[in-house]
Amino acid sequence: MSPTPAPGVVYGAGGGSYEVRLDQGEVVEASLRGRLKQEPRTGESVVVGDHVELARRGNGWVVERVLERASQLVRRGPGGRRAKVAVANVDRVLVVIAAREPDPAPALVDRLLAISEASGFHPVLLVNKVDLPGGPDAATSLVGLYGPIGYPVLPMSAVTGQGMEALTQRIGYGVSALVGPSGTGKSSILNRLHPELGLRTGTLSRKTGKGRHTTVGARLIALECGGVVADTPGFGDVGVWGMNAAEVARCFPEISFREDGCRFRGCAHVREPDCAVRQAVEAGEVAESRYRSYVALRDEAASAEARETRTSLVRRSPLPEEE
């Protein structure tokens, strides 16, 4: 029994058990102290990336304390409204898409960028599979679209190794989260960075063109280059959490940057007169695809707000005859 708490970081979680890498280097399994399970916090009380303190309990370890999170990557739970913290204490986000197979869908790319922005990250866009026919052209147009907004765009190939050095330089310290739809090559990139991993990589289903899910649950992976990567599968089909319609603009840098030029404060940039954002779209200074994504995410946030209002009406205290 050691009375001093052992500090560490949660590398994996599943079935009520946590894989914790202690600061001394040892990797141990730990369970949650009963009190921690009941703590009312957003999402789970302990998630991958959390900095924790463990204590010995019999032959095993328990999580005694969770340190305050410096950051968290949040998404909406599947089909639900509840926020889900995917991973905590991430230092940077890399959005992974493919130049080809699957072809990059602007709506999805913009959604992933916006989710990262909503969590407080200014992401890097990794454009994988540039080795495929048409890949370099696709990458060039993505550089043209996202570069001027301020997103670094990194064309690469997990097959030929192109761009891997630039990637290694970016993720050589701290914790990086790779988010993106399945089938874009995240597992292949991780295998290339860290061959011992031997992650299973999926093949594209010919019928749907969509990648199969090949991994479940977030986890951290310590890389040879010194950095740590958060593998967060299933981030392709998520909603924007924690934003009301008015805040969506904040997740589109080229839109929020122009808001001061709008005639009305709180302009939604949809139907208002003298809107600097719509003028910029018409002038070709803001890409139409970006504007469409903005409107779609704004609508989505607005209908989530409306749902929330309905729910709170339903949840009001019961009528006397129901008691």
CA–CA separation, 141 and 90 (whole Å): 29
Helix (H) or strand (E) holding 18: strand 17-22
With 0-12 / 13-18 / 19 or more C-beta atoms within 10 angstroms meaning exposed / middle / buried, residue 154 is: buried
Tokens 């990648």 correspond to what residue? Answer: 211
* Closest distance to ligand GDP from the beta carbon of 216 (Å): 12
* Closest distance to ligand GDP from the beta carbon of 202 (Å): 4
Are the CB atoms for 203 and 101 separated by under 8 Å?
no
Residue nearest to ligand GDP (CB): 185
CA–CA separation, 59 and 80 (whole Å): 38
Q: What is the full DSSP assignment across 68-127?
A: PPS-EEEEEPTTS-SEEEEEES-SEEEEEEESSSSPPPHHHHHHHHHHHHHTT---EEEE
CA–CA separation, 246 and 124 (whole Å): 25
* Closest distance to Zn ion from the beta carbon of 278 (Å): 6
- Binding residue for Zn ion (CB under 5 A) from 75, 269, 290, 298? 269
- Binding residue for ligand GDP (CB under 6 A) from 2, 203, 312, 317? 203
Taking the least distance from each CB to ligand GDP, the nearer of 9 and 97 is 97
Residue type, 262: C
Binding segment for Zn ion (CB under 5 A), chosen from 17-25, 33-41, 221-229, 264-272, is 264-272
- Binding residue for Zn ion (CB under 5 A) from 262, 280, 286, 301? 262
- Identify residues 47-86 at the interface with ligand GDP (CB under 6 A): none
Taking the least distance from each CB to Zn ion, the nearer of 63 and 114 is 114
* Per-residue contact string for residues 208-237; x = within reach of ligand GDP by CB under 6 A: ---x--x-----------------------
- Identify residues 160-199 at the interface with ligand GDP (CB under 6 A): 182-188
* Closest distance to Zn ion from the beta carbon of 17 (Å): 50
Taking the least distance from each CB to ligand GDP, the nearer of 136 and 253 is 136
Structure-token pair, residue 321: 């005859």
Are the CB atoms for 112 and 179 separated by under 8 Å?
yes
In terms of phi and psi (left: phi > 0; alpha: psi -120 to 50; beta: otherwise), the region of 21 is beta
Other Cβ atoms less than 10 A from the Cβ of 176: the count is 20
182 binds, among Zn ion, ligand GDP, none (CB under 5 to 8 A by kind): ligand GDP
262 binds, among ligand GDP, Zn ion, none (CB under 5 to 8 A by kind): Zn ion
Q: Would you count residue 63 as binding Zn ion (CB under 5 A)?
A: no
203 binds, among Zn ion, ligand GDP, none (CB under 5 to 8 A by kind): ligand GDP
Q: Would you count residue 132 as binding ligand GDP (CB under 6 A)?
A: yes
Binding site for ligand GDP (CB under 6 A): 128-129, 131-132, 157-159, 182-188, 201-204, 211, 214
